[in-house]
Structure 1
């Protein structure tokens, strides 16, 4: 049952920073109430069916939108490397991977990359963006391997610079990196050559 207009702020306070139309209905917020809150500037529409409270803490709206639009979305390449402190590159839009064979969602601003389904979850963790919303995040080792795999399109510098920075970090184990890279046989030779130069 929808709340009367006087209780719109109470309904809104029960919702997380970012929510869907279905979540609004569960909190007792009618479509009419939602549109009224939009008109009053209490809410903003991120994409069709996805809304954000204007009083919510600042977050990266591109990541929030992508995470809500595609549950398998995973930060990768330059974006993930920067998150791990392995790159100073700041792409124009976040690098986000999806399993090959899925479609990039409309309305989410990102550079979409499509990785093989059989290795998609290797090295994949999660990053909580806010209460109720998380996005996948590849590990530093997986990001380095992906940078080497995509060096023809993403540039050789991204891969070499990330590897160089990773090797400077305490606890980095080149042998473990090579063992993990065995899941992508074509990356073994260039990665071994780079390690031979840098070590």
Structure 2
């Protein structure tokens, strides 16, 4: 069994207060407000679980996705999660930085991966999308993040045509990426 929410406790023949008592006695671990896991469950990333539970369309992006793809040495101080613009940003207890991305391009370069140690899935952006986003949001993220990720991606054999196919569909990404590719290739 994976994560459990108080409203699902009845399906297990337990009341909400029974779930709270089970958590106090150590049978369940409280991940965040309203999210519990069995104490004997395998290890999992609680930030990922909370993001996927709060928003089924949650997508790992920016520095967190670049770190997952081993394209940066930077260690993000919070999990970067993208959700479609216009969505309500949920209240969370863990270190999650919510980003609102345009609905028209939200699915661009997005795939789903399983959360290790859990039955949940979470979205993640492709390396190409993450690099394009790093260039497009370079004023907020810093100029080095995108440049260093691009350099590592090219070193591993990344194809500039695939990167430009995504960058042309995102605002403010094509020009800076072209300039960086001219310098690096």
TM-score (structure 1 length as normaliser): 0.87
The one of the two structures with greater contact order (alpha-carbon pairs below 8 A, sep at least 6) is 2
User: Greater Rg, structure 1 or structure 2?
Assistant: 1
The offset of 1:131, in angstroms, is 3.8
Structure 1 unpaired stretches of 5+: 1-14
The offset of 1:175, in angstroms, is 1.4
The offset of 1:150, in angstroms, is 0.6
1:37 maps to 2:22: yes
Structure 2 unpaired stretches of 5+: none
102, 108, 111: which is aligned to 1:116?
102
The offset of 1:185, in angstroms, is 4.5
What residue number does 2:176 align with?
190
Single out whichever of 172-181 and 42-51 deviates more from structure 2.
42-51
SS of residue paired to 1:186: coil
97, 111, 120: which is aligned to 1:133?
120
Q: CA RMSD in A?
A: 1.4
Contact 1:66 1:108 in 2 (8 A): no
The offset of 1:49, in angstroms, is 2.3
TM-score (structure 2 length as normaliser): 0.93
